[in-house]
Amino acid sequence: MSATTIATGRLPVAKRSALAKEFNDGRAMIGRNLIAYKRVPQLLVFSTIQPVIFVLMFTYVFGGAIAGALPPGVPYVDYLMPGIFVQTVVFGSLAAGVGLATDLKSGLLERFASLPVTRSSVLVGRTGADLGRNIFVVILMFIVGTIVGFRVHTNVFGLLGSMALVVYFGFALSWIFATLGLAVKDPETAQAAAFPILAPLVFASVAFVPATSMPGWLQPWANNQPVSSVVLAARALVLGGPTAHYVFWALFWCTVVLVIFVPLGVRTYRRAI
């Protein structure tokens, strides 16, 4: 790599292609956000403890009651785990909003805006770091699940496909909450605003229980809303049975979210500073 002098006294500039520059900026931003998980391990511990408790509680407390409503030959833990994967990344996606609102308040985003960095790299740095964290957390959940009896009915590709779909969904959601965080400009507000959006998506879904146990008016929502679509696809990939239809809808939702919220997020970022 060669360097160029652009002004007297200024340190030489690294000569990079536009793509290499994008890569440099994005990697630097992702790196700084990931370091937070190393320095403040509580962030990671608290975001993993809750799903672990859910796995144990649902499996041992509700498992017996729900067993009757499940397809024959499917133990509750096998039914539950894909739902837990999805629930984990959904609540984890909040971090993007809280993180960006915090950076905005601290003046860091103002500093970034005065530096020759790609505009999108601030958002890519945040959502990319969350993607990395989600990969880690989903693998951890798989291990915890396996310990309490979770078994994959299909094969390793089904499992990897299921996990990939879940983290892709988490990535898409990160962009929603990144946009939200930059719009409300305050970490506490970002957190508070997210829960009413997330609760009906996560709990009025087929993540933990089949829709057949819900009242009739709720079933169409519970079967077709985005979180359920992803849960159904992730579940089909590890339990077998018809898969293509579910995967199509899951990918459809993820893509719709990204198509809307990537440009909207970048726009909100520009206006937020």
Partner 1 sequence: MPTTAVRVSGLTKKFGEVQALAGIDFEIPEGTIFGLLGPNGAGKTTAVRILATVHRPDAGTAEVLGYDVVNDAHEVRMRIGLAGQYAAVDPNLTGRENLRLMGRLAQVEPSYIPPRADELLHSFDLVDAGDRPVRTYSGGMRRRLDVAASLVQKPPVLFLDEPTTGLDLQSRQELWNTIRNLVREGTTVILTTQYLEEADQLADDLIVIDHGKIIAQGTAGELKRNLGGTVIELTMAEDADVDKAVSLVGAVVGTEPERQGSLLRMPSPDGSHLLTEMLRRLDDGGVQPTGVALREPSLDDVFLALTGHAAEEEEAAANGRGNGQAKGGRKGRRS
Exposed / middle / buried, residue 99 (Cβ in 10 Å: 0-12, 13-18, 19+):
buried
**Distance of closest approach, residue 40 Cβ to partner 1, in angstroms:** 6
- CA-nearest of 231, 197, 194, 195 to 211 is 231
Please work out, in degrees rounded to the nearest 5, the angle formed at the alpha carbon of residue 245 by the alpha carbons of 206 and 75.
40
Kindly state whether residue 108 participates in binding partner 1, applying the rule CB under 8 A: yes
Residue listed under structure tokens 């002098």: 5
Q: Which of 60, 110, 160, 213 binds partner 1 (CB under 8 A)?
A: 110
CB atoms within 10 A of CB 113: 14
Q: Which is nearer to partner 1, 105 or 151 (CB)?
A: 105
Q: Which segment (2-10, 65-73, 164-172, 211-219) binds partner 1 by CB under 8 A?
A: 2-10
Distance between CA atoms of residues 273 and 105, nearest Å: 9
Q: Which of 68, 116, 196, 242 binds partner 1 (CB under 8 A)?
A: 116
**Distance of closest approach, residue 90 Cβ to partner 1, in angstroms:** 24
- CA-nearest of 112, 114, 116 to 22 is 116
Q: Which segment (44-52, 56-64, 102-110, 146-154) binds partner 1 by CB under 8 A?
A: 102-110
The binding track of 7-46 with respect to partner 1, each residue x by CB under 8 A or -, is xxxxxxxx-x----x--xx--x--xx--xx--xx------
Kindly state whether residue 156 participates in binding partner 1, applying the rule CB under 8 A: no
The binding track of 182-221 with respect to partner 1, each residue x by CB under 8 A or -, is ---xx-----------------------------------
Q: Which of 117, 165, 167, 209 binds partner 1 (CB under 8 A)?
A: 117
Q: Which is nearer to partner 1, 112 or 142 (CB)?
A: 112
Kindly list the residues in this chain that would bind partner 1 in the complex (CB under 8 A).
1, 3, 6-14, 16, 21, 24-25, 28, 31-32, 35-36, 39-40, 104-108, 110-117, 185-186, 272-273
